[in-house]
A and B are shown apart, each in its own frame.
Chain A
Amino acid sequence: MIEQFFEGLSMALRIDTFVMMALGLFGGMLVGALPGFTTLMAMAILLPISFFLDPLVGIPFLLGIYKGGMFGGSIPAILVSMPGTGAAVATSRDGYALTKQGKSRKALDMALFASVFGDTASDIFTILMIFPIAVLVMQFGPPELFAVLLMSLIIIAVTSGSNPLKALIMMMLGLWLSFIGTDPLGGVERFTFGLFELKSGIPLLPMLIGVFAIPEIASVVMRNEKTRQLAAVMGERLTLTELRRCFRTIGRSTVIGTSIGIIPGLGQVVAAMMGYSAAKNASETPEKFGQGELEGVAAAEAANNSVNGPTMVPLLTLGIPGDNVTAILLGAFVAQGLRPGPQLFDEQGATVFAILIAMIFGNIMFLAIGYLSIPLFSRIVTIKVSVLIPLVIMFAFAGAFVFRSDSVDLLMLVVFGIFGIVAKAARFDVMPMVMGFILGPPLEYAFGQTVAMTNGDMFGFFLGERWGAATVLALCPVFGYLLWKRMQSVNTA
């Protein structure tokens, strides 16, 4: 094992690997910055190209696109409040607030540092602990997933914003919206009113753009200050002091994100929100979160990136991809003659280590690539509003269409835009709604699976076999109450 590691290390140090990774990172960042044009698509398109390249060049290239894309998604989230993925929602909260204060550059810098740190740390952790993690992953099944998801929803409802009651209401609304379409367990139609368009449910991206970006754009349009820019300046770079202040948060978020990455089925969205909530809870000034607090950006970004490392473990050790991205990586591995699974480390350990090590180098490279690209991106806010807004609308609509190649989604975009504005006027925060929408389906699915597994005797099942899940479930109301009390004590003013 150790010899394989060092062999891999030497294999990874080649120019073409680094060059292709850099290309992937940069390209991925650009694609990720376009909401709707997902990096998943980009990876899938470029997958065949990787077939013809050396595995040590092709696979790092794909990984580069993935990593670049994840950061790319934060760019529109911060600059124009347009998160392209659920994971970027938490970032857009404080990120866009910072942009409005003229600190867009700081926000982007922080997102970059936090992302790279979280990613690198979790990758190193994965490499060192790959087999213990594999064992841990096996401990989690549907009951555990259900319990953790429920806990996450409660935490999100109680800690986001200042009014848990309103947050819960929005979350219920979001959950209900997620039920529209076909029920994930039985495939029967729910709330579709016979419309075929609704049969596959409400798409996420038009909703995200609609509730987050459109109200902001509308408020700019309605105010009509003619030569106004989105923000007065793009701001200065992040200072070392500011970064140092967030070290603890970044560290905490990385731990949270990595832990969440180990549990199959949770993903970046939960990680980002948990990191964010934890940081808010631990801070002395939680009311600043959401108004433009750099720590918020740091917490969300570090968490959602540190999910990546452990996600690779089931892929590498069992050959089972956990999500769409790892499925594409599986295809890339297999096409190159690498067979992920129990055999992988025995037969080709060096190559695998080389790829993982290249991934770490890629992260570090990205620090430079991102840092140099950020001034370009943050300049966007200085474009004249009358030019920027039409462009943003065009990208928003194009992205909403491209997401599912369905023109109905454009109407969904408009409808959710209206909803976003109404919610804003009614002083309801849309973030819990979006979280309910995203986490609703896995929650219900995990519950359905659990009930199927118990074969009738739920109580006995939980207490007998899955006491871990039972414990988490029992803690839910406790956590909810404690956090509620904490938020209340800070908010009473």
Chain B
Amino acid sequence: MFGLMKKTLTGLVGAGLALGLTVGTAQAEYPEKPITMVIPLGAGGSHDLNARVITSIIPTYLNQAMIVRLTPGAGGQKGTQEVANAGADGYTLLFTHNYIDQLQQHVESLPYNPNEDFVPVARINYAPIAVVVRGDSPYETMDDLIAASKADPGGIQMAHSGNWGALFVPAAQFMKALDMQWNLVPYQGGGPAMQALLSGDADVTMGFPSTLAGQIQSGDVRVLATAGAERIYDDVPTFGEVGVEGDVGFMHRVVLAPANTPKEVLTKLEEAFAALAEDKTFTRMMGRLGENVDIINGEAYQAMRDEQFGAYKVLVEQLTSQ
């Protein structure tokens, strides 16, 4: 029996070595093979949906497929680390958002350094968040809510999508800026948080206007304030107008690449994303998803990243100091 095994094994190993020794050809045009886009979040979320649209259109500009690989876990760290460790050849990209990218490092110790290990390729879009209450709640304006919150510290239930997530951070910023206390109750994502609001378990939550359109129209929810410099709804004040200044409540969806990716590769990618911005089918599909398209290239976004780094550092220090 051992003779047989030895022969078979030797044969197979020999074949393997022969193949392994086949030297690859010289550096041809990027991309030569499909590109993997890693998403450090779970399936079905807005990132996933955005990515599916991107990866179904961008191959026409890259002449190679782009495959989505979902790697959720450890609050986004698993997928991020995977890309940090991957080869800097442009075949593995990370599709993430600013809270994971710049805020997390101030909250826990990460096995990578977001600013040293990654360079931005393109920011796809951003989503401003809004404070919402139920349509039949007694709070007609943001001021009503603030007054009620101050009168009853910790009595108002706020549903958020997870610690340090896209709903939690603006909420904490609100509480800090307006000197009031909400009772923060976690839910498994924006969807369950909204459901909690509608069922009465929560008094206030936050949501992205794109997903709220149906409920706003039917009157099930009322928007009290929105993020951004300009009003999204005519009769709803912005965060700045109600007293919460600064870069609050924006989730930027951004594509990152490992730090040492060659310049030609990055340029090619940036061109492809720029072309995506002009693509009619792309804008149409994103519009259907309720997302905007505001593609800015890597350099421009890097400036924003630097800003975020400083701002989040201060924010976390302030929030956790007591």
Contact = CB atoms under 8 A, between A and B. Distances in A.
Q: Which of B72, B154, B211 has the most CB of A within 10 A?
A: B211
B108 A455 contact: no
Contacts of B220: 342
Contact of A325 (B44, B45, B75, B82): B44
Interface in A299-327: 314, 318-327
Contact of A331 (B49, B185, B217): B49
Nearest to A453: B185
A6 to B, nearest CB: 25
B218 A342 contact: yes
Contacts of A45: 68
Contacts of A47: 49, 52
B201 A328 contact: no
A321 B74 contact: no
B74 A328 contact: no
A47 B197 CA distance: 29
Nearest to A319: B214
Contacts of B192: 264, 320
A291 interface: no
B183 interface: yes
Contacts of A331: 44, 48-49, 52, 289
A336 B44 contact: no
B11 interface: no
B200 to A, nearest CB: 8
A199 B154 contact: no
B304 interface: no
A341 B74 contact: no
A199 B78 contact: yes
B163 interface: yes
A128 interface: no
A196 B81 contact: yes
A334 B289 contact: yes
A361 B117 CA distance: 52
B43 A327 contact: yes
A224 interface: no
Interface in B178-212: 183-188, 191-192, 194-196, 198-201, 211
A455 B183 contact: yes
A149 to B, nearest CB: 14
Interface string A336-355: 11011111100000000000
Given A319-B211, A452-B183, A343 B289 contact: no
B155 interface: yes
A345 B19 CA distance: 59
Interface stretch (A119-127, A136-144, A239-247, A368-376): A136-144
Interface string B93-132: 0000000000000001001000000000000000000000
Interface stretch (A20-28, A181-189, A270-278, A280-288): A181-189
A51 B287 CA distance: 13
Contact of B73 (A44, A201, A452): A201
A390 interface: no
A210 to B, nearest CB: 19
B42 interface: yes
A141 B157 CA distance: 14
Contacts of B108: 187
Contacts of A343: 214, 217-218
B164 interface: yes
B214 A48 contact: no
Given A186-B163, A343-B218, A448 B186 contact: yes
A168 interface: no
Contacts of B188: 445
B290 interface: yes
B212 to A, nearest CB: 9
A320 B195 contact: yes
**Band of interface residues on A:** 35 or more
Contact of A141 (B43, B155, B199): B199
Given A48-B55, A331-B52, A445-B188, A324 B213 contact: no
A455 B184 CA distance: 10
A48 B195 contact: no
Nearest to A52: B56
Contact of B157 (A40, A41, A51, A453): A453
A405 B69 contact: yes
B288 interface: yes
Contacts of B70: 41, 44
A45 B198 CA distance: 32
Contacts of A229: none
A51 B285 contact: yes
A138 B134 CA distance: 14
Interface in B229-257: none
Contacts of B53: 48, 51, 335
Interface in B213-230: 213-215, 217-218, 220
Contacts of B292: none
Interface string A399-424: 00000111000000000000000000
B161 interface: no
A449 interface: yes
B173 interface: no
B297 interface: no
Contact of B214 (A41, A344, A453): A344
Given A318-B195, A340-B214, A455-B154, A200 B74 contact: yes
B77 interface: yes
A44 B215 contact: no
B113 to A, nearest CB: 15
Q: Which of B68, B108, B185, B191 has the most CB of A within 10 A?
A: B191
A55 to B, nearest CB: 11
Q: Which of B77, B111, B188, B217 has the most CB of A within 10 A?
A: B188
Contact of B288 (A182, A337, A448): A337
A327 B154 CA distance: 32
Given A327-B43, A328-B43, A182 B52 contact: no
Nearest to B44: A327
B318 to A, nearest CB: 19
Contacts of B73: 199-201, 404
Contacts of B217: 342-343
Q: Which of A337, A340, A404, A445 has the most CB of B within 10 A?
A: A404
B49 A319 contact: no
A335 B74 contact: no
A455 B195 contact: no
B71 interface: yes
Interface of A: 40-41, 44-45, 47-48, 51, 137-142, 181-182, 185-187, 196, 199-201, 264, 314, 318-328, 330-331, 334-337, 339-344, 404-406, 445, 448-449, 452-453, 455
Give the top 6 A-B pairs by smallest Cβ distance, nearest first.
A327-B44, A341-B214, A200-B73, A48-B56, A342-B218, A138-B199
21 contacts: A40-B44, A41-B43, A44-B43, A44-B68, A44-B70, A48-B53, A139-B199, A141-B199, A318-B195, A320-B191, A327-B43, A328-B43, A334-B49, A334-B289, A335-B288, A343-B218, A344-B214, A404-B78, A445-B186, A449-B185, A452-B183
